[in-house]
Structure 1
Amino acid sequence: MSTLLEVSGVSVTFDGFRAINNLSIQIGEPELRAVIGPNGAGKTTFMDIITGKTKPDEGQVIWGDKNISLLGMSESQIAREGIGRKFQKPTVFEAQTVRENLAMALRNPRGPFAVLFYKKTKEGGQRIEEIAVEVGLTDELMRPAGELSHGQKQWLEIGMLLAQDPRLLLVDEPAAGMTTQEREHTTDLLKRAAETRAVVVVEHDMEFVRRLDCKVTVLHEGSVLAEGSLDHVTADQTVIDVYLGRG
């Protein structure tokens, strides 16, 4: 497994509060990684830095085989490099069908004219069918996205990100608000996605993290507190004191 993303010695201060403190994390390709930690640990800021939403005060963020620095890039440039992000609340086009949502997300030329003159292609149709199978929405392709359950909207949004063929997928609290059955489907979906790319999941739900069965990074006060399997980090006394011991 080669290193896809290297965050090295990164710090960020907001109004005198150090949100990220000399943070260093490496993500491989392919890899599934869970990031956990108490509120205010820096989990969201960590994703903001990778996607270019927040610029760090110091440190490096190195990407891909050519060791490109992401720090000088805009959010759209970073997205084009192959980094996709799914926020906690699903954002889909509710009036459009599931098929139309996936079609709009397919990795096509992104200029204004390309969108205006979007043509259906055989390859595009085939890819939509493949993604629908992957996320479990084959039977819903003709339904308006607004009619889907909360869990199905989450899967559609993950499908829309997969349609862009990212090398790194950042997923924020996917289990929130899901039924038990939906959560099981979501873990299976993320595990499959991570067979061919890097997937980083920020999550509070320990049972969900256990089902992911992957390496876990624990953040606390903006830096890495512990790293390893879930059993390893949950047996760490410092992790128990600052996170798990809070009940």
Structure 2
Amino acid sequence: MSTLLEVSGVSVSFDGFRAINNLSIQIAEPELRAVIGPNGAGKTTFMDIVTGKTKPDEGRVIWGDKSISLIGMSESEIAQVGIGRKFQKPTVFEAQTVQENIVMALKNPRGPFDLLLGRKDADQQDRVNAIAEEIGLRTVLDQPSGVLSHGQKQWLEIGMLLAQDPRLLLVDEPAAGMTPSEREHTTDLLRRAAQTRAVVVVEHDMEFVRRLNCKVTVLHQGSVLAEGSLDHVTKNQDVIDVYLGR
């Protein structure tokens, strides 16, 4: 496993409040990582920095085999190098079918020979079917996305991100508002996705994190408080103090 993303010594302040304070995190490829921490710990700001939404005041954010600096790149440029982000509230095109949503998201090199030979359509349909199978929506491809359950919309959005074939997937609180069976399916989906890429899940729900069965990074006041398995970090006295507010 090689390091895919290295966040090193990053700090950022908003109106004098230090949201991220000398934060250093390394994510490998492939890897599944959970990022937890109380409200205000810096979890969302960490994702904002990686995706270019927020520029840090200091530190480095280094990406990929060629050690590209992400700082100063636009959000769309960062998406193009292979970083996908799923926000807490699903954003799918509700009037369009599940199939159409996935097709719109597909990463397609539109070469003239592909068009001439009609290769694209068959390949594209195979890819759509594979993604729909992966996210558990193969049977509802022709349904408008607006009629899906909350959990299904979350899976569709993950599928739309997978269609872009990112090397790093950032997922914000995927279990929120899901039924127990939907949460179980989501865990399986994220674990499978992390076999071939890096997946970072920001989550509050400890039971969900336990089912992910992965390395956990605990943030507090904008820096890493502890790192390791969930059992390891939950036995850490500093983590206990922070979570129980002692």
**What CA distance in whole angstroms lies between the structure 2 residues aligned with 1:90 and 1:13?**
28
Give the aligned partner of residue 8 of structure 1. Answer: 8
Query: Residue in 2 aligned with 1:154?
Result: 154
1:220 corresponds in structure 2 to: 220
| SS, match of residue 121 in structure 1 | helix
* SS at structure 2 position matched to 1:93: coil
Gaps of 5+ in 2: 111-118
Deviations 1:76-110 (A, max 9, x none): 00000000000000000000000000000000259
1:98 alignment partner in structure 2: 98
Deviation at residue 68 of structure 1 after TM alignment: 0.3
Q: Map Cα deviations across residues 168-200 of structure 1 (whole Å, 9 max, x no partner).
A: 000000000000000000000000000000000
Q: Distance in 1 between matches of 2:49 and 2:11?
A: 10
Identity across the alignment (%): 82
Distance 2:47 2:109 in 1: 26
Match in the other structure for 1:114: none
Deviation at 1:246, TM superposition (A): 4.3
Describe how 1:66-85 pairs up with structure 2 within 5 A.
Answer: 66-85=66-85
Structure-2 separation of matches of 1:122 and 1:45: 41
Distance, in Å, in 2 between the alignment partners of 1:192 and 1:20 is 31
Q: Deviations over 1:44-85 (max 9, x none)?
A: 000000000000000000000000000021000000000000
Matched to 2:13, the amino acid is T
TM-score under structure 1 length normalisation: 0.95
Task: Look up the match of 2:202.
Answer: 202
> 1:22 maps to what in 2?
22
**2:115 aligns to what?**
none
1:115 maps to none
Structure 2 residue identity aligned to 1:94: E
Q: 1-side partners of 2:186 and 2:121: how far apart?
A: 29
Please identify runs of 4+ aligned residues in structure 1 that moved more than 4 A. Answer: none
SS for the counterpart of 1:201 is strand
TM-score calculated relative to the size of structure 2: 0.95
Alignment-derived partner of residue 55 in structure 1: 55
Alpha-carbon separation, structure 1, partners of 2:204 and 2:195: 23
Q: Which amino acid aligns with 1:45?
A: T
One-letter code of the match for 2:145?
A
1:191-238, CA deviations, whole angstroms, 9 ceiling, x for partnerless residues?
000000000000000000000000000000000000000000000000
Alignment of 1:180-195 (within 5 A): 180-195=180-195
Give the number of aligned pairs. Answer: 238
Q: Distance in 2 between matches of 1:121 and 1:71?
A: 37
Query: What is the DSSP-based 3-state SS (H/G/I as helix, E as strand, rest coil) of the residue aligned with 1:196?
Result: coil
Separation of aligned partners in 2, 1:246 and 1:212: 25
Paired with 2:181 and 2:209, the residues of 1 have a C-alpha distance of 15
Q: Secondary structure at the match of 2:209?
A: helix
- Cα distance in 1, alignment partners of residues 94 and 245 from structure 2: 38
Q: For residues 49 and 79 of structure 1, what CA distance do their matches in structure 2 show?
A: 13
**2:39 equivalent in structure 1:** 39
The 3-state SS of whatever aligns with 2:65 is coil
DSSP-derived class of the 2:200 partner: strand
- Give the gaps of 5 or more residues in structure 1: 111-118
- The amino acid of 2:66's aligned partner reads K
Match of 2:180, as an amino acid?
A: T
